[in-house]
Amino acid sequence: MSTLPPAPGDPDALDHAIESLAVTAQALLHAAQAMSAAAVEGSGKALDSTRERSAGTATRLGQGGDRYAGAVAGLREYSVVLRDAHRITARAAQDHDRATAHAHTFSERAHHAAAQLAMIAPIPTSTLTIAHLQDELQSARQGERAAMEAAHQAQLLYDNAMAQLDDAAHRAAAIVRAACDASNDAARGIFDTLADAAAWAWDTIEHLARDVLAAVITSIECAVKALIMGLGLLLVSVVVALVVGIVAIAAVLVAAFALQMTLAQIIRHVVTTAIDRELDFWGIEGVERVRMAFVLLTIVAPPLGAVLSLRMAEEALKPTPEVTRMQEEVAAEHPQAMEDLQQKPDDLADLLEWSGDVDSLGGSEAAVVDIAKVVAADGTVSWIVTLPSTQDWCIPGDKGAPNDLDACLLLMLMPQLKSQYERAVLEAMKQAGIAPDEPVLMVGWSLGGILAGKMASQDSGGYNYQGVLAGGSPIDGFDVDAPVLQVKHQDDGIHELDFVDAQGSHGDHLELWDGVWSGTTFSSIKTGNLIGHECQDYANTLRSHLDHDPAINDLFDDVLPWEGGEGDFSIEHRQYSFHE
Amino acid sequence: MTDLEVRTEALHLLALRVDDIRSRLAGAPEQAQQAAASAGHTAVVGALNDFSSHWTKRRAELDASLADVGASCNAIHRALSQADGDLAAAVRNATPTAASGTTLRQAL
């Protein structure tokens, strides 16, 4: 393909179209001439009328013919130039292509000669060869210049032809337009122009109205679609944001709660440790440590101290509740607890679980104490007294269960006094028929453990206390002259309320922990809840220790003769209930 | 009374010529478009487009005038031919002599 494009247009097709226009022009002019002459020969009214009409039509036909004839004239002049332009530009393009090709060839020859000269320059060569190459180089460069000049001339010829074509086109356009001026629609009379303008205006208004209306409808459709899409996106975004937000809020709450618990534990450790040190410094031991802490609390918050003091006084002055055997209906409402209490224990953890069972039986309206009579194979009798934990926190008011906050306070601060809870337990033990010399194991967690330790340390009721099994109970201040098994959790601050954290196992007092204090072997033992104050968790911790060291069960062998297996003792449970 | 002298064949020829002109006028835009398509220059193309588009209403008026003239010629031709035939028949029935031919001269 040539680098110079061919001239535009098609001369042959244009000539054909011009001839067609010329025929029409001739037809129009002949018809006009015929109509203007006596085309309708003869005479008569109809003919006269027709002749009048023909005369006006002939004038219009003449104008049309002139229009066509003028267009034909302009196009014919243009066609001649167009044909010449095609001929000249085709030849110019051909010459240009040929000259360009020659220039390329000469350029390659010049490059080749120059390269050969450069290559042989450092080498001793005959002057003849050098001269030959120099001649070749000069000749090639001359040929290249000549070819480029020829290409340039061809380009000039091409450009000239195109310029002439351009001039001819404008001349032809001017001729065509000049021929049309007289007959153009715009050249009509003022009234026709006004009518056309009115029609145009009406059409324009109609189109505008239609277009505007269509545009408005389209805009409304687009807006509605955009609105629907926007609402959809908004809805999806809201849902996603809600889900993400809920997850984020939950994560933040969990993190905040964990942080709060951690901070609370740290503060508790710091405060209790500080108090412990101060109490140690002043040589305050036992229950006096709790009392000093209470004094400090009263100094810091006198109203609270006053309220708690009043509650303790009220608790001490209340009469002993009436103790009866637990109603069958209560047992029927708690089949799982009763099933646990009817079964023979496999280990000490079962006993600790009984503490949770009596909590379930009594609830916040009554206290239920389980007293199990153990009869060994040799006929000796021992007893297991299982005490409930705090089930009534006296908020907003004091409920029926005597195992409440008041009992806690009295037990911790004034153990010399007997709470109604303790007095009722002694009454239950009496009703159960526990003889003074028969070994008794006191079992309880939290408040139940406190009362168990307190009663054992004071030989309350004159019974033969041979052991205390407690979980999460602050009983380190009680001096119990019998085997004691305490289960403690690191995260539980309740068993530190006596301001004695870890005494460690000594003698027949065994202290079992979870976590890192559980011993290297049992370091995996952990509590099940966040604060670690839960009966079942304490039972689980104890069971984990028993799995590793079953000999722990032998701590209370005066009460429970495990050594011989299942057949060595029988057990009979009775539940006693009382309320304030 | 008016003299009536009509060459009905001329009327018919004129009507045919009118029809031919009308068909040529109807093809005017197409002719201009063909020329524009082969012109190859925007100036010429623009002029030819104006040639076609600026003669729309007047061409329509011319066409309507031509249609009117053609219709008149055809109507006169048909009516006179019919009248001529009817008169010829009447004359044949009334008298032994009758006028015939394409030229009718009669005093009305």
The amino acid present at A504, given as its one-letter code, is G
pLDDT for residue A124:
67
pLDDT class of B96 with cuts at 50, 70, 90? low
Distance CA A285, CA A292 (A): 10
pLDDT class of A518 with cuts at 50, 70, 90? confident
Q: Taking 80 as the threshold, does the pLDDT of residue A503 lie above it?
A: no
What token pair was written down for A89?
A: 């530009």
**Burial of A306 per CB tally in 10 Å (0-12, 13-18, 19+):** exposed
pLDDT for residue A43:
65
A chain contacts of residue B10, beta-carbon cutoff 8 Å: 39-42
A74 contact B CB<8A? yes
Distance CA A435, CA A458 (A): 17
- Contact yes or no for A477/A290 (Cβ under 8 A): yes
A chain contacts of residue B21, beta-carbon cutoff 8 Å: 27-28, 31, 61
A81 contact B CB<8A? no
B chain contacts of residue A46, beta-carbon cutoff 8 Å: 72, 76, 79
A-B CB pairs within 8 A amount to 170
Q: Which residue of A has its CA nearest to B104?
A: A42
Count helices and strands in chain A by DSSP H and E runs: 13, 9
pLDDT for residue A280:
75
**pLDDT one-digit tens code per residue, A405-436:** 888 888 888 888 889 999 999 999 999 999 99
Q: What is the mean pLDDT of residues A531-546?
A: 87
- Contact yes or no for A434/A451 (Cβ under 8 A): no
Q: Taking 50 as the threshold, does the pLDDT of residue A533 lie above it?
A: yes
Give the minimum alpha-carbon distance from A88 to chain B in angstroms, rounded to a whole number: 16
CB contact under 8 A, B24 and A49: no
Strands A509-513 and A484-488: parallel
B chain contacts of residue A13, beta-carbon cutoff 8 Å: 34, 37-38
CB contact under 8 A, A8 and B40: yes
B6 contact A CB<8A? yes
The residue with greater pLDDT, A53 or A29, is A29
pLDDT for residue B102:
46
**pLDDT one-digit tens code per residue, A252-310:** 998 888 787 777 777 777 777 777 777 777 777 777 778 877 888 888 888 888 888 88
Alpha-carbon dihedral A527, A529, A530, A531, rounded to 10 degrees: -80
- Contact yes or no for B2/A43 (Cβ under 8 A): yes
pLDDT class of A86 with cuts at 50, 70, 90? very high
Task: Give, for A443, the enclosing helix (H) or strand (E).
Answer: strand A439-445
B76 contact A CB<8A? yes
pLDDT for residue A162:
93
**pLDDT one-digit tens code per residue, B26-84:** 888 888 899 999 998 999 999 999 888 888 888 888 888 889 888 888 888 888 888 88
| Cut 0.80: pTM above it | no
B23 contact A CB<8A? no
A chain contacts of residue B73, beta-carbon cutoff 8 Å: 40, 50
CB contact under 8 A, B54 and A42: no
**pLDDT one-digit tens code per residue, A558-570:** 888 876 555 578 8
CB contact under 8 A, B59 and A176: no
- Contact yes or no for A332/A435 (Cβ under 8 A): no
B chain contacts of residue A188, beta-carbon cutoff 8 Å: 57-58
Per-chain mean pLDDT for chain A? 85
Secondary structure E strands in A259-418 = 324-325, 367-376, 381-387
What token pair was written down for A153?
A: 């001339």
Secondary structure E strands in chain B = 5-6
Instruction: For residue B76, give the nearest of A27, A47, A67 by CB distance.
Output: A47
pLDDT for residue A156:
93
pLDDT for residue A278:
74
Q: How far is CA A487 from the centre of its chain?
A: 43
pLDDT for residue B99:
47
Q: Taking 50 as the threshold, does the pLDDT of residue B104 lie above it?
A: no
Provide the β-strand partners of residue A513. A488
**pLDDT one-digit tens code per residue, A163-217:** 999 999 999 999 998 988 888 876 555 555 676 577 667 767 776 776 677 778 8
A437 contact B CB<8A? no
What token pair was written down for B41?
A: 């220059």
B94 contact A CB<8A? no
Provide the β-strand partners of residue A42. B6
CB contact under 8 A, B40 and A7: yes
A44 contact B CB<8A? yes
Q: Taking 50 as the threshold, does the pLDDT of residue A110 lie above it?
A: yes
Interface of A with B in 185-204 (CB under 8 A): 185-186, 188, 196
Highest mean pLDDT among A309-318, A397-406, A436-445: A436-445
Alpha-carbon dihedral A192, A197, A202, A206, rounded to 10 degrees: 130
Distance CA A545, CA A555 (A): 13
Query: Of all residues in chain A, what percent carry a pLDDT higher than 90?
Result: 43
- Beta-carbon contacts of B35 under 8 Å, excluding residues fewer than 6 positions away, are A14, A17, A18, A21, A71, A75, B48
Give the minimum alpha-carbon distance from A42 to chain B in angstroms, rounded to a whole number: 4
Q: Taking 80 as the threshold, does the pLDDT of residue B98 lie above it?
A: no
**Burial of A141 per CB tally in 10 Å (0-12, 13-18, 19+):** middle
Q: Which residue of A has its CA nearest to B68?
A: A53
CB contact under 8 A, A42 and B5: yes
**pLDDT one-digit tens code per residue, A20-47:** 999 989 988 888 887 776 455 666 677 7
B11 contact A CB<8A? yes
- Contact yes or no for B76/B104 (Cβ under 8 A): no
pLDDT for residue A523:
56
Q: For A74-120, give the secondary structure using H, E and C.
A: HHHHHHHHHHHHHHHHHHHHHHHHHHHHHHHHHHHHHHHHHHHHHHH
Q: What is the mean pLDDT of residues A104-111?
A: 92
Instruction: Kindly report which listed range (A167-176, A331-340, A484-493, B69-78) carries the lowest average pLDDT score.
Output: B69-78
Q: Taking 80 as the threshold, does the pLDDT of residue A502 lie above it?
A: no
CB contact under 8 A, B31 and A170: no
Instruction: For residue B7, give the nearest of A10, A14, A42 by CB distance.
Output: A42
Q: Taking 60 as the threshold, does the pLDDT of residue A383 lie above it?
A: yes
CB contact under 8 A, A50 and B7: no
pLDDT class of A95 with cuts at 50, 70, 90? very high
pLDDT for residue A53:
74
Distance CA A305, CA A298 (A): 4
CB contact under 8 A, A64 and B20: no
Distance CA A369, CA A444 (A): 10
- Beta-carbon contacts of A81 under 8 Å, excluding residues fewer than 6 positions away, are A164, A165, A167, A168
